[in-house]
């Protein structure tokens, strides 16, 4: 994992392009630029571990380019539960809940990530309160979609188990 500047990125990180992603949708260009300027951009290579199970959850990551795989861990069991793509975020729940990471995150391909720390999240609230509300709604909407997909998978699993 390598820290890079937005101007040095080979990918389009313009606010106009990022608005196409679900967590940046409807945010103002200046607010997106603020996050880019104040956050940390990470260039990751396929296979890189972004965070590990049990690590501190003091930030979350937005995918600006590429795809990541999240592996949920419980006791000694580990399962890939989802792939995170452009415009989606990962790690927000741990940051908000103030708990350690509940799984590990790996780059499925070369990717560019924006890390937003809890301090930057607070600063964003102070500097752009209207956009902060939109960002929270976007993050909440993505969490709701994830919960629905995972709960559907639980039902499907239960149905398969009962058949056998």
The H or E element that residue 163 is part of is helix 129-163
**pLDDT of amino acid 163:** 80
How large is the angle between the packed helices 29-38 and 118-127, nearest 10 degrees? 150
Spatial contact of 111 and 84, defined as CB atoms under 8 Å apart: no
pTM of the model: 0.90
Pairing of strands 59-65, 49-51: unpaired
Position 84 scores a pLDDT of: 97
Nearest Cα to Cα of residue 132 among 142, 120, 144: 120
Token pair belonging to 130: 């209207």
- Residue 94: predicted pLDDT: 93
Mean pLDDT by 10 residues, the chain (164 residues): 79 96 96 97 97 95 98 93 96 93 97 98 98 96 87 79 77
List, in sequence order, every beta strand (DSSP E) within 66-132: 68-74, 77-84, 89-90, 103-107, 111-117
pLDDT of 89 reads 97
Domain 2-163 homologous superfamily, CATH: Jelly Rolls (2.60.120.10)
């Amino acid at each position: 994992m390598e820290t890079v500047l937005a101007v040095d990125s080979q990918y389009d990180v313009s606010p106009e392009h990022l608005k196409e992603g679900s967590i940046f949708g409807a945010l103002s260009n200046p607010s997106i630029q603020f996050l880019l300027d104040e956050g940390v951009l990470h260039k990751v290579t396929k296979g890189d571990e972004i965070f590990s199970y049990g690590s501190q959850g003091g930030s979350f990551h937005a995918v600006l380019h590429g795809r990541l795989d999240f592996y949920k861990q419980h006791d000694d069991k580990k399962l890939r539960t989802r792939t995170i793509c452009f415009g989606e975020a990962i790690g927000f729940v741990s940051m908000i809940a103030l708990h350690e990471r509940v799984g590990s995150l790996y780059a499925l391909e070369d990717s560019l990530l924006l890390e937003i720390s809890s301090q930057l999240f607070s600063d964003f609230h102070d500097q752009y309160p209207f956009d902060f509300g939109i960002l929270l709604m976007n993050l909440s909407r993505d969490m709701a979609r994830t919960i629905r997909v995972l709960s559907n998978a639980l039902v499907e699993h239960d149905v398969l188990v009962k058949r056998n």
